[in-house]
């Protein structure tokens, strides 16, 4: 049996996402601005719960780490993505019951040597 998603269920169900953004603005007023999209919440028929609210945050790569730390996203979840046109880092997490997709875009593309270079997370960066 296939689960069908019927569609958006209302602005009130996005409240958790807006609350998270408001808390970030109050706690960290100097956090660099970003392009933020709050996605519709969708109802899954036959399920007690809806899919949670989702925020997509896009910014310049130099602001990524500050946002990642403030959101409490584990550094081990950060991934590097590269295409011939774009290079970016991204991380996904659930923060206060909100799905968060954080993406930091580079203004230049990486060379093949840079893409193939080993990337290691330092032990001091991994939360206990």
3-state secondary structure the chain: CCCCCCEECCHHHHHHHHHHHHHHHHHCCCCCCCEEEEECCEECCCCCCCCCCEEEEEEEHHHHHHHHHHHCCCHHHCEEEECCCCEEEEEEEEECCEEEEEEEECCCCCCHHHHHCCCCCCHHHCCC
- Please indicate whether residue 48 or residue 93 has the higher confidence score (pLDDT): 93
Mean pLDDT, to the nearest integer, of 22-31?
96
Is position 55 within any domain? Answer: yes
pTM of the model: 0.75
Is position 24 within any domain? Answer: yes
Domains in the chain, number:
1
Does residue 71 surpass a pLDDT of 80? yes
- Please indicate whether residue 100 or residue 8 has the higher confidence score (pLDDT): 100
- The predicted pLDDT at position 56 comes to 95
Percent with pLDDT over 90 in the chain: 48
- Please indicate whether residue 74 or residue 46 has the higher confidence score (pLDDT): 74
Mean pLDDT, to the nearest integer, of 94-114?
85
**Domain carrying residue 27:** 7-125
């Amino acid at each position: 049996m296939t689960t069908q998603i019927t569609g958006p269920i209302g602005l009130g169900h996005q409240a958790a996402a807006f609350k998270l953004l408001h808390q970030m603005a109050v706690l960290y007023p100097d956090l660099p601005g970003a392009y933020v999209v709050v996605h519709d919440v969708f109802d899954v028929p036959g399920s007690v719960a809806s899919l949670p609210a989702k925020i997509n945050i896009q910014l310049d790569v130099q602001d990524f780490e500050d946002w990642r730390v403030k959101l409490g996203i584990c550094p081990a979840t950060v991934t590097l993505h590269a295409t011939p046109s774009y290079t970016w880092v991204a991380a996904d997490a659930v923060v206060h019951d909100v799905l968060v997709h954080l993406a930091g875009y580079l203004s230049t593309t990486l060379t093949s040597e840079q893409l193939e270079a080993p990337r290691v997370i330092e032990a001091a960066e991994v939360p206990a």
